[in-house]
Chains A and B, each alone.
Chain A
Amino acid sequence: MAEVSVRKVVKEYDGGVLAVKGIDLDIADHEFVVLVGPSGCGKSTTLRMIAGLEEITSGEIWIDGDVVNDVPPRDRDIAMVFQNYALYPHMSVFDNMAFGLKLRKFPKDEIKRRVDDAARILDIVPLLERKPRALSGGQRQRVAMGRAIVRNPKVFLFDEPLSNLDAKLRVQMRTEIKKVHQTVRTTTVYVTHDQIEAMTLADRVVVMNHGIIEQVGTPNDLYHHPATRFVAGFIGSPAMNFMPCRVQDGANGGLDVRVSDSITVPIPPARLDRYGKFKGKNMVLGLRPEHLFEYHEQGKPGWSRVDMLVDVVEPMGMETMVHYFVDGAAICARVDPATHAAPGEMMPLTADLNQMHLMDADTGKVV
């Protein structure tokens, strides 16, 4: 097991395309770090540079205290799980898992012991003699993980390992991966574009966009204290609501947020100092769907009533999503499934402004 450090790493492809623009990241021993972001954000390139499958244009990558820029993948003592499993189709499950150990000339009984141990952890003992084509997607992914585990490497690298699985299996395998990490405790770098996967698996999440790191933090940090509008919108499902707004003077020396002609809400007193200096500036109000719910007469401090025209109602069983349009901005509220909301009707809602985020409209930074 080992620490991994990525220092000022740049990746420029032929033709001047900058995939990674000088990122810094330190991953602690035993840590499970997830790189998440939209397609083309540089997360897979970063992982592949750590693996040694891509050359680094500039910067340094450290694994377990050594710079590995010029070390070939096989000497980095890493193991990687690929999106499409990358199992050797002509070998049995046992041989697939044993391949790396055989190349490293491990004794036969040691290979058998390690493969059996990994197979037990992953519950694939009955599959050891099968060829990959005789396995389901989930089983193949387990074998791919087994191949990584048997090597007992310093670092596990996962490149979107669940993307090829159906939704149900993905949830199941997600739990399996978490269980495996709790058992073997190997430092893990995991790439995904699925923010739910990132949130559920990670000790820390690294949100990337356009080749830079937007924010690094625990899942709760990112969810509750996003640093930028991009992170606020990327983390959470349904995504955070964004409404263009302006901060203006309110009643009794307070401040209001004016969203539209019909929607003006007071900023909670605890935030007055923080937001006072943005008075008169174009800002963006961010509010998560769960902080916009059905109106109750008995409110709490920081709760404000807003009335919106219902556009679409989506019952989901344990909750109902109601969509609205406010001055062209799509807004979503997460309400009680017993709601009587109907399309075309005005609906009174409570906005919990204690949970509001205010962003600079130009820079996208959360203030």
Chain B
Amino acid sequence: MSTSVAERRNAVAAHRKNSLHRQRLWALWGSYAALSVFVVMFLVPPFYTLMTSLKSSAEISAQTGSPWLVQHPTLENFWYLITYPNFQRYYMNSIIVTLLTVSVSMVISILAAFSLSRMGFWGSQTLSTGVFLTYLVPPSLLFIPLFQIIGSLGLINNFWCLVLLYPTLAVPFCTWIMIGYFSSIPRELDEAALIDGAGYLQMLWKIFIPVAMPGIIAATIFAFTVSWGAFLYPLAYLYTSNQMVLTVGIISDLIRGDVFQWGKIMAACLLASLPPIVIYAFLMDYYVAGLTAGSTKG
């Protein structure tokens, strides 16, 4: 009698286990299918870019064979760009603008976020909401009034205007991320630091910045992306090649009239994508951790 009860129990347990196993399997298959669609959608354009960049102009215009495959791979497009002085100039301008934008944005964001999240002054709550609201104003609405401001400063067709403008896009969101991150740091840490003898700036420098490093890296990556990939402002405010940055320079230099130099354009896109890829690859873990912390505690 007791044996049969035990057997039945074992059978029920085994059935439950199998059923769970099956459910998990279905869930996994579903995830893989959805992710595969996602991966294909997002990886096809870069793949096509890579294939085209490895083709000569003759092979691109010949239109024979599959456009997805390269018959006679060549690096001539890359070599052309690497040795092309204008492209070097665009690259250098982009690097300078981005480095300065990131630095300026991060200094402002960290100081703003620290004071808004920790110093508890009158109106700090409203101000932090206001900071986020500015992020919601689309850049395309701003570029006409900003044109007047930049014009009055005499910075039209000068890439330094981007160093002034990009932080207006980066600072609100970076500040928002940092407010969330700083708020997740226990308040006792400030109090311990105050009692240990730290002033507010020492507390920020020696405690908050090291502890909030994942959040700072996430915000830095965001500021970098905003600056490196921005298209509208350089298109509106810059027009000579010595001031141009990569995003607009590639288009304006490699499309002449109705002649599109597809191989070079694609190679330029890949070369322009290198810094973000490298940065994301190294800092992705921090980026995710930073965004998560900000989202739960903001």
Contact = CB atoms under 8 A, between A and B. Distances in A.
A74 B196 contact: yes
Among B194, B199, B210, B211, max chain A CB count under 10 A is at B194
Interface residues of A, number: 23
B195 A80 contact: yes
Contact of B188 (A52, A74, A82, A147): A82
Given A84-B188, A89-B211, A103-B202, A78 B195 contact: yes
Contact of A103 (B189, B198, B211): B198
A135 to B, nearest CB: 16
Interface in A27-78: 51-53, 72-74, 78
A100 B196 contact: yes
Contacts of B207: 88
A73 B189 CA distance: 14
Nearest to B194: A73
Interface in A277-304: none
A263 interface: no
A27 to B, nearest CB: 18
A174 B55 CA distance: 76
B45 interface: no
Interface residues of B, number: 17
A150 B117 CA distance: 31
Interface of A: 51-53, 72-74, 78-80, 82-84, 86-90, 99-100, 103-104, 147, 151
B154 interface: no
Nearest to B199: A74
A82 B197 contact: no
A88 B211 contact: yes
A83 B192 CA distance: 11
B188 A86 contact: yes
Contacts of B193: 88, 99
Contacts of A100: 195-197
A186 to B, nearest CB: 14
Q: What is the interface of chain B mostly: helix, strand, loop, or mixed?
A: helix
A86 B197 contact: no
A82 to B, nearest CB: 4
Interface in B193-247: 193-199, 202, 206-207, 210-211
A55 B160 CA distance: 47
Contacts of A84: 186, 188
Contacts of B192: 80, 82, 86-88, 147
B210 A82 contact: no
B7 interface: no
Contact of B186 (A53, A86, A104): A86
Among B186, B188, B207, max chain A CB count under 10 A is at B188
B197 A74 contact: yes
B251 to A, nearest CB: 45
A26 B51 CA distance: 82
A79 B211 contact: no
B191 interface: yes
B194 A53 contact: yes
List the 6 closest A-B pairs by CB distance, nearest first: A100-B196, A86-B188, A86-B192, A103-B197, A74-B197, A90-B210
A87 B211 CA distance: 11
B194 A99 contact: no
A228 B210 CA distance: 51
A89 B214 CA distance: 13
Contacts of A52: 194-195
B214 to A, nearest CB: 11
26 contacts: A52-B195, A53-B194, A53-B195, A73-B195, A74-B197, A74-B199, A79-B195, A80-B191, A80-B192, A80-B195, A82-B191, A82-B192, A86-B186, A86-B191, A86-B192, A88-B193, A88-B207, A88-B211, A90-B210, A99-B193, A99-B206, A103-B197, A103-B198, A103-B202, A147-B192, A147-B196
